[in-house]
Amino acid sequence: MSIKQTSQTFLEPNGLSINDLENLLGGALATGGDFADLYFQSSRLESWVLENQQVKSGSHSIDRGVGVRINQGEKTGFAYTDALNKNSIEQAVQTARSIARDNRNHPAVNLRSAEAKTLYTPQDVLNGVDNKAIIQLLNDMDVAARKKDARVKKVICSLVSSQEEIMVAATDGTFGADIRPMVKLSIQVICADDKGRMEMGYAGGGGRILLNDVFQAGYADSFVDQAIHGALINLQAKPAPAGEMPVVLAGGWPGVLLHEAVGHGLEGDFNRKGSSAFAGKVGQQVTSSACTIIDSGIMPNRRGSLNIDDEGTPSQENVLIENGILRGYMQDKLNARLMGVPTTGNGRRESFAHLPMPRMTNTYMLGGDYDPQEIIASVDKGLYAVNFSGGQVDITNGKFVFSASEAYMIENGKVTHPVKGATLIGDGPAAMQKVSMVGNDLAFDQGLGVCGKDGQSIPVGIGQPSLKIDQLTVGGTQV
């Protein structure tokens, strides 16, 4: 992404130059430290919500500022300001450098700009569509949902779009910039049967696309259909059984289990500190040989993709686990330096007011050789989990609990009736050791993923093919 383009946002209007950035960075290490960087960010966000064809909320917000970070060993000094002038940034530098005290002479900083890949449009996502058109789109989704099924009693539709510009300058010479669009369209429906039972269905998607893209024919309709399907399936669902049994996960969004139970455990900070279940196991078999797990920030238009990460490192594709063997971890600059390994382009932060840390981008498992129906046919009695509503995981041991929002029983090799109240309980490393069949139907989520860590939320992508876990504990409500 063009440095010149973002300079017009951050430097020129605020009387700053590249030479000023170099001097500020030099000053950051004036009292010591190993590394320092400046993270400039400007973001605009617009959100619309319609409930039962009435505008419930509409908002537009602007946020901008600079974060200053200084590393010395494992210690970090950090400060930020929402003013982009030189004096304010100098004050933030002085605050951040209180962490460092040594007498070393540090070389002068020479920033080197480098053009990164262009994985998504640099156009302004908030331009080109007026508010009336957005409200009409959301209203049309509501009308369509009610026409499709009389059991639809409540509809909430939302459209959130944002445009973010970032610029990073660091004492290692890094000088990079990115312009990041994001759009998310979603719908929630509540359906009721003639006995008064009510169930909810939710669907949506988006990515680093233009706002105009969600107006394409059929785009919104697919989410309406999915949301209604989820609600109606649960209206007829029976209580889920409890016990240990084979579990088949569908492709796509069920990869959230992989993201939480395995992905977080492969982030560099947890492994440097020895708190991950995967710590110290590079080169060892940590999953079934059927599993190859990748984190890729270079997938065009995907929600988790980045031209550069939030430390100015170009995004890349990282093979984390190959045929069951752990190959490496996701790294930011700090943890990579302390572990003596290369950074992987996974340094991410929520905003200029937050510190970067190693985080996932688009994390997925490669497809295998089995037809999905062949996987289901191999199960005598088990659970088929198609969608999840949420879960929890303990990084230190990989133990997880996930709630299925759409699941079915498998009986005699066939998918039978839907079940409600199913939870999957286990630990990531053990569950992945029991993966015996991987489907040839790799799919990705539709663009809704949000990942939380240490109080920071960032957009991510998730994917996997259908797969069979030979034995997993299912918590259910069936007596």
Q: What is the pLDDT of residue 405?
A: 94
Q: What is the pLDDT of residue 134?
A: 96
Q: Say which DSSP state 315 is in.
A: P
Q: What is the pLDDT of residue 92?
A: 96
Q: What is the pLDDT of residues 282-296, one digit of tens each?
A: 999 999 999 999 999
Q: What is the pLDDT of residue 2?
A: 65
Q: What is the pLDDT of residues 144-155, one digit of tens each?
A: 999 999 999 999
Q: Give me the helices (H) in 381-434, please.
A: 428-433
Its sign, for the CA torsion 192, 193, 195, 197, is: negative
**Does residue 1 have a pLDDT over 70?**
no
Q: What is the pLDDT of residue 7?
A: 82
Contacts of 150 (CB under 8 A, 6+ apart): none
pLDDT, mean over the chain: 94
Kindly report the CATH number that applies to the domain delimited by 3-235.
3.30.2290.10
Q: What is the pLDDT of residue 140?
A: 97
What value does the mean pLDDT take over residues 102-122?
A: 84
**Does residue 364 have a pLDDT over 90?**
yes
Is the distance from CB of 362 to CB of 447 less than 8 angstroms? Answer: no
**Does residue 106 have a pLDDT over 80?**
no
Q: What is the pLDDT of residues 374-393, one digit of tens each?
A: 999 999 999 999 999 877 88
Q: What is the pLDDT of residues 14-55, one digit of tens each?
A: 999 999 999 999 999 988 899 999 999 999 999 999 999 999
C-alpha to C-alpha distances, 230 to 4, 52, 191, 227, nearest whole angstrom? 47, 19, 10, 5
Please, which pLDDT band fits residue 12 given cuts at 50, 70 and 90?
Answer: very high
Question: What tokens were used for 188?
Answer: 């929630």
Nearest-10 crossing angle of helices 219-235, 131-148: 40
What value does the mean pLDDT take over residues 263-270?
A: 96
Please, which pLDDT band fits residue 478 given cuts at 50, 70 and 90?
Answer: low
What value does the mean pLDDT take over residues 175-204?
A: 96
Please, which pLDDT band fits residue 4 given cuts at 50, 70 and 90?
Answer: confident
Least confident of 106-110, 187-191, 197-201: 106-110
Beta strand spans in 107-197 (E)? 112-113, 152-170, 174-192
Distance, in Å, from the CA atom of 122 to the CA atom of 180, rounded to the nearest integer, reads: 7
What value does the mean pLDDT take over residues 317-324?
A: 98
What value does the mean pLDDT take over residues 86-96?
A: 95
Q: Say which DSSP state 215 is in.
A: G
Q: What is the pLDDT of residue 102?
A: 74
Distance, in Å, from the CA atom of 283 to the CA atom of 64, rounded to the nearest integer, reads: 43
Q: What is the pLDDT of residue 403?
A: 92
Q: What is the pLDDT of residue 198?
A: 96
**Residue indicated by tokens 């005290």:** 101
Q: Which long-range contacts (CB under 8 A, 24 or more apart) does 87-93 make?
A: 89/24, 89/38, 90/24, 90/27, 92/66, 92/67, 92/68, 93/24, 93/27, 93/28, 93/68
Q: What is the pLDDT of residue 104?
A: 72
Distance, in Å, from the CA atom of 383 to the CA atom of 403, rounded to the nearest integer, reads: 13
**Does residue 234 have a pLDDT over 60?**
yes
pTM of structure: 0.95
Distance, in Å, from the CA atom of 310 to the CA atom of 334, rounded to the nearest integer, reads: 13
Contacts of 160 (CB under 8 A, 6+ apart): 45, 46, 47, 48, 182, 183, 184
Please, which pLDDT band fits residue 3 given cuts at 50, 70 and 90?
Answer: confident
Q: What is the pLDDT of residue 100?
A: 77
Q: Which residues pair with 170 in a beta bridge?
A: 37
Q: What is the pLDDT of residue 332?
A: 98
**Does residue 204 have a pLDDT over 70?**
yes
Q: What is the pLDDT of residue 477?
A: 73
Sequence ranges of the domains in the chain: 3-235, 239-475
Please, which pLDDT band fits residue 279 given cuts at 50, 70 and 90?
Answer: very high
